[in-house]
Structure 1
Amino acid sequence: MQTMLPTPTPGGIYSELVRRQRAELQDAYMKGVRRLRWDAARLAAERERRLRELLVHAAEHSPFWRERLAGHDLANFTEADLPSLPILTKTEMMTEFDRILTVPGLTRARISEHISSLDGDRYIDDEYRAIVSSGYAGTEAYHVYGWDSFITFVMQGSRWTGRRGEDPAAVLAQCFSCSARHESGAFYAFSSFEGGGPTSHCFDATLPLGAMVDRLNNIRPGVEALQGWPSLIWELAQEARLGRLTIKPTWVSVAGELCTEPVREAVRSAWGIEASEFWGCSEGTYAFPCGVGEGMHVADDLVILEPADADGNVVPYGQPAARMLLTNLFNPVQPLIRYDLTDAVTMTDEPCPCGCAHRRILSVNGRIDGVFKYDGGAVVPRADLEQTVVATPGVVNFFIDQNHGGVDVSVVTDGSTDLQQLRTELSDVLGRHGGPSTDVDVRAVDSIKRLSRGKTRQFDTEAV
């Protein structure tokens, strides 16, 4: 069978589409802001309504979900019934990609061809957008959004700004990925199209540090808000402390990697402010701090997040979870139901002092994503190794590679890390799981290799 390639969108038509979609975003934004004021009961009713609509649509239009949802009373399905459904993993989602999507003609082959050929922001068939996520382990996944669902996704990233009282006209510099293949680049291209919003600059996180510093210094008017991966913000803060980076941001936010205490301290030292951490994923959602209560508010009107243990069992709010399961309630094109995000988090449903009833992620503690397997049958969870490294004082960033006799660990530090103590603790972790510990090497490095989107890679991607 001949593969259908994406239908190219001529420049003129593309401009018309973006203008129309941006205009529709304004209405979605106002509705989304109002939902930040809904009480918990109204939010729960909204989730239940959206969940039933999603399940019915998925069962009718997706062969994969038709089989998986068979035998369930979808018209009366509730949020409490979700644990009766299996978890959807990234591997399964990519393997079953064509059968999961609900739009005839949209296939993994077409999406892959579209993403690989992107040289800027473009639609598929004048309606759909596709992005690729790599994650911190470097394994790719595709995510497809229809017209309305893309608007909703973008809206999530903007509606909290006004609630926190930040200046919507502040000059912003984003240091993530500028490629429309990735979420941050696609959002930047869409939001900055022909102006119409605050002055915004995008700097690819893979740029040499010196080049990024020069470009940030030369922005006029000067940068007032700075966003980026935590590991990159740490490097920029060091440049500011040394006098090479001269911008004076009044707001710094980080996302996409674990934000360690040395990163927060570097921001305080360089600019005299606290770093603001937000959380997001290419699968369709964000969580933002309110500036009053602890943690980050999730989009309780648009997604369901289930904190779960390593085996997939839902854990009570307030207890640390090993993983988080996402049900995206607003994207019927690619239904993600109990999708495993592998983020280790702690969530709460306790009232927030700010008055917003949206539940909160109190902390992102790491990822549970794969294991190291050794000769003799020993299986060592990568999460145990990660948590040991992250808990070590002075560690900013890290990379863990498996070797025959243990692990090779590279760490970026603030200079205070006891490398010998970390080596001993990692050996203990390996030993507890029956793994070898004859060759555990820990060394300090200046930086960790970045993936194509600029995020650093924390693990050897060849591991299971």
Structure 2
Amino acid sequence: MPQEHSSPMPWLGRDIRQARKEGPDGLAARQRARLADAVARARTHSPYYRELYRHLPRRVDDVTLLPATDKTQLMARFDDWATDRDVTYDRIHAFVDDPDMIGQPFLGKYMVATTSGTSGRRGLFVLDDRYMDVGAAHTSQALATWLGPTGILRTVAHGGRFAQLVATEGHYAGYSGYRRAMRQGGWRSKILRAFSVHTPMPELVAQLNAFRPSVVIGYTSTVMLLTAEREAGRLHIEPTLIQPAGETMTTADTDRIAAAFGTTVRTVYGATECTYLSYSCAEGWYHVNSDWAVVEPVDADLRPTPPGEYSHSVLVTNLANRVQPFLRYDLGDSVLQRPYPCPCGSTLPAIRVQGRAGDILTFPTETGDEVRLSPLALSTLFDRTPGVELFQIEQTAPTALRVRLRVSEGADPDTVWQAVQRELELLSADNKLGHLTLERAPEPPQQAPGGKFRTVIPLP
């Protein structure tokens, strides 16, 4: 394998292409070597992993030897988790509480991303340049594969503009990455533009019509809302590629988008913890970038789930991020591993995903029209409200929402509720839903049978 160096992008692109040519053996060799390196660095520089791995052999290149981790465990040991001892919870918390720092380098060298979390619990994540470079290289490879030579020429001919549909009111990975690109300048800053998912739909449609993007990337629920606008004749863009992400999609969803826009639709399955985890193919399978990531479908006891069966959860190992290692990290999704080679010809492992479905809330307006809100517009609202530890919002009637809250220790429940109520009323007014009623539930958020908290529950 080539030696890594301080400017890895050209090397990464070549190695990714070479790994795919070599097939399963080349991919596995890279995975084992990078896993051994990741484990060695983690146990050397992270007190948490040093303690967790104290009984393991000196060299580990078999991921199944590692104990599993999850967000709760890692966030509870935040200061011991990072390999850079200057990365502390107090410093990160102060950083993300300042909106002026979105996209700015933390400690002068790291990107910070938060998650609103489909579990309703916020994550604070530190991403190093190596992780960002690996993600960019995999994205470039996926775009080249999806578009092909003809599609690339069409994209350039249409201006090569990329529209990113992101949450713009927090340190979320998409918006932080966008702000980082704008700050760094270069060619990406000239073709990228972020559009807020909080924008009322008529305004968002007008903005996109004016921008005329060649590629649209964004949250699935927002893309589905835009698809309805296209079908209604209000959205006039003609992208060469649409890439929904962040929420599970059905074949019917992707077919509908493709038909509405007359374009190629490809999707991404990943998370802030591993953004480059997998990309879809024309057959509808997600192909795992197994040279830089490990995916393990497991049952409730964390034993391997056989190919062809949906798992209880999935353990993900990110082999790129060194500052905050994610090793056998329980992502909480149910996935199915394809038991046979994919017809698309890719030698990468292929999976399908059942978890993290995004639900859209639909409300009637007082004039008889219909307004739909994506789950992200609600989840980011709660995320930026101080004192909210866990939330759940349920539509109990066409114009009624029931809000369940678990407040942080030391926070005043009445003060937190007043802040949440104020934010929801502003969101309602912005979307001409002033007649919406809000109910404060006395009970805390309720877990689904599988143990997860479904944060947004629409009417049946």
TM exceeding 0.5: yes
Which SS does the other structure have where 2:167 is aligned? coil
Name the TM-score, length of structure 1 as normaliser.
Answer: 0.72
Relative distance call for 1:455 and 1:74 in structure 2 (3 A) is farther
Query: Is residue 2:223 matched to residue 1:194?
Result: no
Partner of 1:218: 210
Corresponding residue to 1:364 among 337, 353, 357: 353
Relative distance call for 1:297 and 1:260 in structure 2 (3 A) is closer
Query: Is residue 2:68 matched to residue 1:87?
Result: yes
Q: Report how far residue 218 of structure 1 moved.
A: 0.8
Q: Report how far residue 290 of structure 1 moved.
A: 5.8
Partner of 1:386: none
Partner of 1:133: 115
Q: Counterparts of 1:322-361 in structure 2 under 5 Å?
A: 322-348=312-338, 350-361=340-351
Relative distance call for 1:138 and 1:248 in structure 2 (3 A) is same
Name the TM-score, length of structure 2 as normaliser.
Answer: 0.72
Relative distance call for 1:34 and 1:451 in structure 2 (3 A) is farther
Partner of 2:49: 65
Partner of 1:404: none
Partner of 1:41: 25
Corresponding residue to 1:447 among 373, 384, 399: 373
Q: Report how far residue 339 of structure 1 moved.
A: 0.7
Which SS does the other structure have where 1:214 is aligned? helix
Partner of 2:261: 271
Q: Report how far residue 199 of structure 1 moved.
A: 1.9
Partner of 1:110: 91
Q: Counterparts of 1:124-203 in structure 2 under 5 Å?
A: 124-164=106-146, 165=148, 166-167=151-152, 169=156, 170-178=160-168, 181-192=171-182, 193-197=184-188, 199-203=191-195
The aligned amino acid for 1:131 is A
Relative distance call for 1:290 and 1:64 in structure 2 (3 A) is closer
Q: Report how far residue 26 of structure 1 moved.
A: 4.2
Q: Report how far residue 223 of structure 1 moved.
A: 2.0
Q: Distance in 2 between matches of 1:287 and 1:327?
A: 9
State whether residues 252 and 275 of structure 1, in contact with CA within 8 Å, keep that contact through their aligned partners in structure 2.
yes
Q: Counterparts of 1:281-360 in structure 2 under 5 Å?
A: 281-289=271-279, 291-348=281-338, 350-360=340-350
The aligned amino acid for 1:364 is V
Q: Report how far residue 268 of structure 1 moved.
A: 4.0
Q: Report how far residue 270 of structure 1 moved.
A: 2.1
Q: Distance in 2 between matches of 1:448 and 1:201?
A: 20
Q: Report how far residue 269 of structure 1 moved.
A: 4.4
Q: Counterparts of 1:412-423 in structure 2 under 5 Å?
A: none
Corresponding residue to 1:78 among 51, 58, 61: 61
Q: Distance in 2 between matches of 1:191 and 1:349?
A: 39
State whether residues 179 and 186 of structure 1, in contact with CA within 8 Å, keep that contact through their aligned partners in structure 2.
no
Q: Name whichever of 315-324 and 91-100 sits farther off.
A: 315-324
State whether residues 34 and 319 of structure 2, in contact with CA within 8 Å, keep that contact through their aligned partners in structure 1.
yes
Q: Distance in 2 between matches of 1:445 and 1:261?
A: 25
The aligned amino acid for 2:86 is G
Q: Counterparts of 1:8-23 in structure 2 under 5 Å?
A: none
Q: Report how far residue 95 of structure 1 moved.
A: 0.4
Which SS does the other structure have where 1:366 is aligned? coil
Q: Report how far residue 281 of structure 1 moved.
A: 0.8
Aligned Cα root-mean-square deviation (Å):
3.0
Corresponding residue to 1:463 among 422, 446, 452: 446
State whether residues 206 and 454 of structure 1, in contact with CA within 8 Å, keep that contact through their aligned partners in structure 2.
no
Q: Name whichever of 84-93 and 38-47 sits farther off.
A: 84-93
Q: Report how far residue 289 of structure 1 moved.
A: 4.2
State whether residues 130 and 142 of structure 1, in contact with CA within 8 Å, keep that contact through their aligned partners in structure 2.
yes
Which SS does the other structure have where 2:22 is aligned? coil
The aligned amino acid for 2:118 is Y
Partner of 2:15: 31
Q: Distance in 2 between matches of 1:205 and 1:327?
A: 30
State whether residues 31 and 291 of structure 2, in contact with CA within 8 Å, keep that contact through their aligned partners in structure 1.
yes
The aligned amino acid for 1:112 is H
Relative distance call for 1:268 and 1:357 in structure 2 (3 A) is closer
The aligned amino acid for 1:137 is S
Relative distance call for 1:217 and 1:133 in structure 2 (3 A) is same
Relative distance call for 1:289 and 1:99 in structure 2 (3 A) is closer
Percent identical: 26
Q: Distance in 2 between matches of 1:317 and 1:33?
A: 26
The aligned amino acid for 1:55 is V
- Structure 2: which 5+ residue stretches go unaligned? 1-5, 365-369, 384-390, 394-403, 406-444, 448-460
Which SS does the other structure have where 2:359 is aligned? strand
Q: Please give the per-residue CA displacement for 1:55-111, whole angstroms capped at 9, x wherever unaligned.
A: 121112111111111111131x232xx334332121111001111111112111111
State whether residues 13 and 137 of structure 2, in contact with CA within 8 Å, keep that contact through their aligned partners in structure 1.
yes
Relative distance call for 1:347 and 1:179 in structure 2 (3 A) is farther
Partner of 2:223: 233
Query: Is residue 2:114 matched to residue 1:122?
Result: no
